[in-house]
Amino acid sequence: MSAHSITEPSGRSKWVAGTLVITYALITMIPLAWIMLTGFKSPADAISYPPKVVFEPTLEGYVNLFTTRTRQTDDFLAANPPENWADEIVRQYDMVIVGPSKFGERFFNSVIIGFGSTFLSIFLGTLAAYAFSRFKIPLADDLLFFILSTRMMPPIAVAIPIFLMYRNLGLSDTHLGMILLYTAVNISLAVWLLKGFIDEIPREYEEAALIDGYTRFQAFYKVVLPQAATGIASTAIFCLIFAWNEYAFAVLLTSATAQTAPPFIPTIIGVGGLDWPAVAAGATIFLLPVMIFTILLRKHLLRGITFGAVRK
C-alpha cells in the first residue's frame, strides 16, 4: 500500500475516472460511427431492420454522392461496357454516370466561406481586441457591450431584414455575402475571447519591444501575436465550427452559386429515392475538415475551453 496523497489520485480513482471517460466517449462517438459506417452500406443495408453492424462495404454511397446518373435501356447498357469501377457500381441499377454532382462545388463553397469568414473574424477580432485591451478608447465598455449584444438574440431573428438587405445590395447567393454574414456573427465572440487572451499578456513585453527599437505595430506582430497564438487558435476553431455548420442562413440566402454543403446534403435525399448511404457519405466528408482542424489545434482548444479558469 502506498501512502495516501491529497494531490495525486489513487490508482483506483484513476481507474474509475478512466472508465467513465472512455464510456462517455464511446457513447458520444456511436452516432458519428454510425454515420461513417452507413456511408459504406448499400441502400438496402442502410435501412434494414434490425440494423446491420456487420455488412459488406461498398462505395455506392460515395459514388452516388459525387455523380449524377440516368437510367438507360438494356440495349444502351449492352453497347457501352462500364468504363471504370464507379460505373460498374451504378450498372447494377441499370444506370450510367452522366457527370459529377454538385457536391464537390458545394463542399468547396463551404471551404471558402467557412475558412474565409474565420480568417476575417480572427483578423478583425485580433486587432479590435488588441485595441480594447491596450488603448484608452472612449466608451470602451459600452462598445464592448454593444459588440456582445449582437449575440444576445438568435441570428435567425434578423433573417428577413438581412434577406432584403442582401437582395438590395446584390450580396444574395455570393461568397462575399456569406463570408461577411458569418464574420458579423462571429466577430463578437472573437473580440471577447481574444480580448481575454490579450489582457493576460503583460504590457511589459510590448513596452520592452518599443524601447528595443520597434514600432507599436511591429511589437504587436512580433511579441503579442506569437503569445496570443493559443487564444487565436481556439477562437478560430469556434468561429470555423459556427460558419461551417450554419444551416438556416445558408438555406435562406444561397441557392445556385454560393450554396454551402449543409443545405445541399439534405437535397440528396430527394434524388432517386431515400439514398441514405449518399447522405451519410456527404455528412462524413463534411465532418472531416473541422475534425482535422480541431485535432491539429486540440491542445489550444483545451486551453480555450478552460480559458479564464487557470492562471498562468
Partner 1 sequence: MAEVILSNVSKAFRKTQAVTDMDLTVPDGAFVVLLGPTGAGKTTTLRLIAGLEKADTGTIQIGGRDVSVETPAQRDVAMVFQQYSLYPHMSVRDNLAFPLRSPILKTAEDEIARKVAEVAEVLHIPHKLDNKATELSGGEMQRVSIGRALVRDPAIYLMDEPLSSLDAKLRADLRIELKRIHAELAATLLYVTHDQIEAMTMATHVGVLDEGRLVQFGTPREIYENPSSAYVAARLGQPRINLLPTGLFGEDAPQGAAQIGLRPEHIAMDGGAPAHVARVEHLGDQTRLHLKFKDHDVITLTDPHTSLEQGETIHIAPRNPLFFDANGARVA
The only residue of 18, 19, 212, 306 in contact with partner 1, by rule CB under 8 A:
212
Cell 452559386 found at: 257
Kindly state the smallest distance separating residue 235's Cβ from partner 1, in Å.
18
Q: Supply φ then ψ for residue 69, to 5 degrees.
A: -130, 155
Find the binding residues for partner 1 in span 217-246 (CB under 8 A). Answer: 218, 223, 226-227
Kindly state the smallest distance separating residue 300's Cβ from partner 1, in Å.
14
Residue 182 CA to residue 252 CA, distance in Å, equals 14
Kindly state the smallest distance separating residue 236's Cβ from partner 1, in Å.
18
The only residue of 202, 291, 292, 299 in contact with partner 1, by rule CB under 8 A:
202
The only residue of 55, 119, 163, 214 in contact with partner 1, by rule CB under 8 A:
214
State yes or no: residue 310 binds partner 1 (CB under 8 A): no
Kindly state the smallest distance separating residue 21's Cβ from partner 1, in Å.
30
Alpha helices in the chain (DSSP H): 11-38, 43-47, 60-66, 74-79, 85-91, 103-134, 140-149, 159-169, 175-200, 203-211, 216-219, 225-245, 248-253, 261-267, 276-296, 298-305
DSSP at 69? E
- Residue 102 or 222: the one with the smaller Cβ distance to partner 1 is 222
CA distance readout (Å), 43 to 14, 54, 99, 281: 44, 14, 21, 12
Instruction: Name the residue type at position 80.
Output: N
State yes or no: residue 303 binds partner 1 (CB under 8 A): no
Q: Which stretch binds partner 1 (CB under 8 A): 175-183, 205-213, 247-255, 279-287?
A: 205-213
> What DSSP string describes 175-198?
HHHHHHHHHHHHHHHHHHHHHHHH
State yes or no: residue 207 binds partner 1 (CB under 8 A): yes
The only residue of 13, 70, 149, 215 in contact with partner 1, by rule CB under 8 A:
215
Residues near partner 1, by CB under 8 A: 202, 204-205, 207-215, 218, 223, 226-227
